[in-house]
Structure 1
């Protein structure tokens, strides 16, 4: 965590970032939530984790200072640091806002109603047009949001302002990253960390990082099924510079890379209790 992210930042005429004040190893400086629009009615993108009452006060202060109200809430994905603040916001503002997201099996909002969205769905107010992009990989339900008037991408947790992101499905994640390259982007506003002002370069950097790791894995795999190796053997070579206490995390990362390669038919996988891999 190197860059300073202010609690409140007016990033453009349509974008105000309000930090959810929940710093951590996975959240960096905290979750970036965004107030979008420049008129009376505005969208709120993400809600933080609900653990910091100070965030609610920041939200109220920012809306009042801009003579604006929340029209609706859009949630990028089901992780608690993005949706966990939803109940706190609804209670604090005494309002039954419509909350939009891709519906997912992990959703646990109790009595709160979530409104499903579709890929490429358009949300409009008088001064803003948002296109919702279903970009699975980090999670199955992940949404990115494209602000058409400013050619700005809100990347959620697909791309971070610092470091790299985690994923649950690498095949889908890579497709989502490549989809970003088809957009005309002036800037990326990430779910965590500072803004990204070299968007195409950053997306390509993310893709190249994963492709290099994939090639390292392929270089370690034998070409004969009879010589297939287990993930533990792979980790010892590919992640030799990673502290041993992090090898379990590295093994999960390698497992996700291998799942993608198996899906593509490039790598074979043995049946049984002790899974091994080889190049087909």
Structure 2
């Protein structure tokens, strides 16, 4: 899967301001770059090309979003860039607690001993909290934090007010879809993020925690919401009819009486919904299907049944 992804540079200057305008074409004009991405290489296929970390601002004091997995090549790239820019990191903002976003903190502290590291629901130690609506500023950039649980309970996104862009963390990725702790909470968060983009004219950039920059964040979030709704509809259809929509022209609701509706395990549903996906990916897919089932249970659409061996099954309510 990873070989199909576009290659991203280890270090890339992403955004430049010219008299108040934003350009992603750094070879035009003589403005100063305000966003530089450092790629921290992956230790897991779910991290796509690696974890994106972003250096933001101008002048001697900069902001940094996320720190990657603690890879030496990342800290060396950051050190070289800070030296060339005659700058240091004043504030580090962590989008959430996952190791691929926080394990570079010790290396960052070695490079920039005066840095203040912030995370919502901070860990014990030298971390500061991030509150919903909190503003962080350096020369050339103002970031506003927004609480966006879903991928994790402590997840935050950051809006770059000068550009109207959003650093989406792992709630929205540059390729594919994200995983989440709670689907109902995640959908509420996606709606909140979508509302922000809908208030703005035209497409707005999104800078994800993994994958390429998203030029139209509004369209991407709409795509995410539609995908989750489609998955929920597919799960319900299989629970009711035993097949996917359009996969069996002979199957219909008229052929399956309510008394024949059986209870399904998540992996049984996966084998039908993800029938064209390699079997080694069925277990990760089962996690997402389980989240859909839990949401449907909370909505009153399914009931959970446990068997003697501890295996949980779900039956649709009719």
Equivalenced residues, count: 273
Structure 2 equivalent of residue 250 of structure 1: 285
Structure 2 equivalent of residue 163 of structure 1: 176
| Whole-Å separation in 1 of the counterparts to 2:15 and 2:142 | 15
Structure 1: which 4+ aligned runs deviate by more than 4 Å?
223-226
Residue deviations 1:129-168 (CA, integer Å, cap 9, x gap)? 1111111111111111110110011111111111111112
Question: Is the 8 Å Cα contact of residues 224 and 278 (structure 1) preserved in structure 2?
Answer: no
Note the C-alpha offset of 1:252: 1.8
Structure 1: 5+ residue runs without aligned partners? none
Residue deviations 1:90-146 (CA, integer Å, cap 9, x gap)? 1233x0421111116xx4x7xx41111111211123432111111111111111111
Q: 1:122 to 1:212 in 2, by over 3 A?
A: same
Note the C-alpha offset of 1:279: 2.9
Q: Indicate the larger mover: 254-263 or 229-238.
A: 229-238
Question: Is the 8 Å Cα contact of residues 90 and 114 (structure 2) preserved in structure 1?
Answer: no
**Which of these residues, 116, 123, 140, is aligned with residue 136 of structure 2?**
123
**Match status 1:97 vs 2:115:** yes
For the residue of structure 1 that corresponds to 2:145, the secondary structure is: strand
Question: Is the 8 Å Cα contact of residues 117 and 126 (structure 2) preserved in structure 1?
Answer: yes
Structure 1 equivalent of residue 249 of structure 2: none
Larger Rg: 2
Structure 1 equivalent of residue 25 of structure 2: none
**Match status 1:181 vs 2:194:** yes
Q: Indicate the larger mover: 266-275 or 36-45.
A: 266-275
Note the C-alpha offset of 1:228: 4.1
Q: Indicate the larger mover: 77-86 or 18-27.
A: 18-27
- TM-score, normalisation: structure 2: 0.79
The aligned runs of 1:173-212 (5 Å cut-off) are: 173-183=186-196, 184=200, 186-212=204-230
| Whole-Å separation in 1 of the counterparts to 2:14 and 2:67 | 18
Structure 2 equivalent of residue 277 of structure 1: 314
Q: What is the aligned-residue RMSD (CA, Å)?
A: 2.1
- TM-score, normalisation: structure 1: 0.89
Structure 1 equivalent of residue 36 of structure 2: 16
| Whole-Å separation in 2 of the counterparts to 1:237 and 1:19 | 36
